[in-house]
Amino acid sequence: MHQHLHILGICGTFMGGIALLAREQGWTVSGCDANVYPPMSDQLAAAGIALHEGYDAEHLPSNALIVVGNALSRGNPAVEAVLDRGLPYISGAQWLAEHFLAGRWVLAASGTHGKTTVSSMLAWILESAGMEPGFLIGGVPHNFGLSARAGGGSFFVVEADEYDTAFFDKRAKFVHYRPRTLVINNLEFDHGDIYPDLAAIQRQFHHLVRCVPGSGLIVVPEGVPAIEDTLAMGCWTPHQTLGSTAADWSLGLLAEDGSSWWFRGPDGVQHEVRWQQRGAHNVANAVAACAAARHVGVPPEEAVRALEAFAGVRRRLELRGEPGGVRVYDDFAHHPTAIARTLEALGAARDGAAQGGRLIAVIEPRSNTMRMGEHRDALAPATAPADQVFWYQPAGLNWSLEDVRHASPVPAQLYSDFEELVSAIVAEARSGDAIVVMSNGGFGGIHERLLGALEQKYTQ
């Protein structure tokens, strides 16, 4: 039994989660990454995990099991050294399945959007019900302050990602997890760097569906053709739908911004929720979590109490500060659908509060799919709920955002210089405005820069 795990690409949320779980199980853990950055680097350091920046072969321990992250491919010096030296290696998803998921009741949250939020809500509902679930989530739920833990019970909640597993395993990560309870939140084209079309992604989702036992449960939104077509390929598990009054789980907003809402489960009893979260998309996420929790025995009224105490997820519409009355939010949105949902949620919150401030979007398209130019036609329309947009052209984007700016339904500016971008936003901002920064990367630490510059602007 190897007792030393060395993780290549340790600072991604999934790999960092694997590191925390291994540490908790008593393994010696070390790892490296091209960029060692918070919040994951802070979590790892706090757990006593040694980090090395870069992929130099000389930092590879000879007596460890090497976990290879899916961002690493042939040609990477560490990968080449692992192969040349004949070191044992495994993917993170397979290691998780063998060491943590085997023998446990796995609850998996999948879909193009909302996986992190659904899995965070679900883990918190089970925790509130005294079930001590283990979890591995691609983000940091504020209620736990960690992205992964082993847990003490028989249940394990996992964020089930359709991205491929490793350079040597081109199946989606989630086929390793063998869930008994599965949420498929939505299904759209994404990950253009590995999937040629939506049908290729549906095929991976069907591999996942094929692994759910007949005594399990699949939770899906009603009326989504891509999901219905996937289930029509063959489904051996009962499924429940979410949506209108005709669905197994019906839901509706009591407040336009989603701060209060109702839902009814299969038993026909209506429940009302008043909570800290915002947005119709989060209401749907919450009902999916309630349906999954009910499958393992948590009644909806208990789920309601947990949701009313749910504090959200880091980088998911997270309010970072309010200098001079300007609210600065951080959001992970990087797909046009997610951008639109985030802006709709904030727009509805603003309209409901009648604050009169503007909604300013700051967007860095930097995902692999974006870099390839997929979704470019959908980007401008996605910003319609905002009052104004600042686009940032990152260095790795090899097509110009000028056409997106030109097609914008709202006033839009484009910057390729980071300092100029920050200055322009600060000059534009006024008290009452909400600025939402959207990127799936660190975006040069723009949140701290904006908070600091706005603080200065309003204290002079």
| pLDDT score at 422 | 94
Question: Angle at CA 338, nearest 5°, toward 138 and 92?
Answer: 20
| pLDDT score at 309 | 95
| pLDDT score at 153 | 87
Distance (Å, whole) CA 241 – CA 266: 10
φ, ψ at 374 (rounded to 5°) = -65, 150
* Domain ranges, ordered by start, for the chain: 4-92, 103-308, 318-459
CATH code: domain 318-459 is 3.90.190.20
Please name which of 318, 298, 324 lies closest in space to residue 437, comparing C-alpha atoms: 318
Distance (Å, whole) CA 96 – CA 89: 13
Contact 448, 360 (CB under 8 A): no
CATH code: domain 4-92 is 3.40.50.720
The pair of structure tokens assigned to 376 is 């470019």
User: 134: which strand partners?
Assistant: 156
pLDDT tens digits in sequence order for the chain, 460 residues long: 569 999 999 988 899 999 999 999 999 999 999 887 777 788 888 888 989 999 999 889 989 999 999 889 999 999 999 999 999 999 999 999 999 999 999 999 998 888 999 999 999 999 999 999 999 998 889 999 889 999 998 999 999 988 888 999 989 899 999 999 999 998 876 655 666 688 888 999 999 999 999 999 999 999 999 999 999 999 999 999 999 889 999 999 999 889 999 999 999 999 999 998 888 889 999 999 999 999 999 999 999 999 999 998 888 888 899 999 999 999 888 788 888 888 988 887 765 544 568 999 999 987 665 665 667 888 999 999 999 999 999 887 878 899 899 999 999 999 999 999 999 999 999 999 999 999 887 788 899 999 999 999 888 7
The CA-atom distances, in angstroms, between 263 and each of 125, 266, 273 are: 16, 10, 8
The answer to whether 103-308 and 318-459 have equal CATH topology is no
Query: Please, what is the angle between helix 280-295 and helix 336-353, to 10°?
Result: 110
Name 32's Cβ contacts closer than 8 Å, sequence gap at least 6.
6, 7, 8, 9, 10, 51, 52, 53, 54, 55, 56, 59, 78
Distance (Å, whole) CA 138 – CA 17: 8
pTM for this one? 0.83
Burial of 184 per CB tally in 10 Å (0-12, 13-18, 19+): buried
Distance (Å, whole) CA 62 – CA 22: 18
Cα atoms found within 13 Å of the Cα of residue 332, Cβ hemisphere only: 14
Distance (Å, whole) CA 173 – CA 169: 9
Cβ atoms within 10 Å of 144's Cβ, excluding its own: 17
Concatenated DSSP letters of 99-163: IIITTSEEEEEESSS-HHHHHHHHHHHHHHTT---EEE-SS-BTTTSSSEE--SSSEEEEE---S
| pLDDT score at 163 | 80
Contact 359, 346 (CB under 8 A): yes
What is the architecture of the domain spanning 103-308? 3-Layer(aba) Sandwich (3.40)
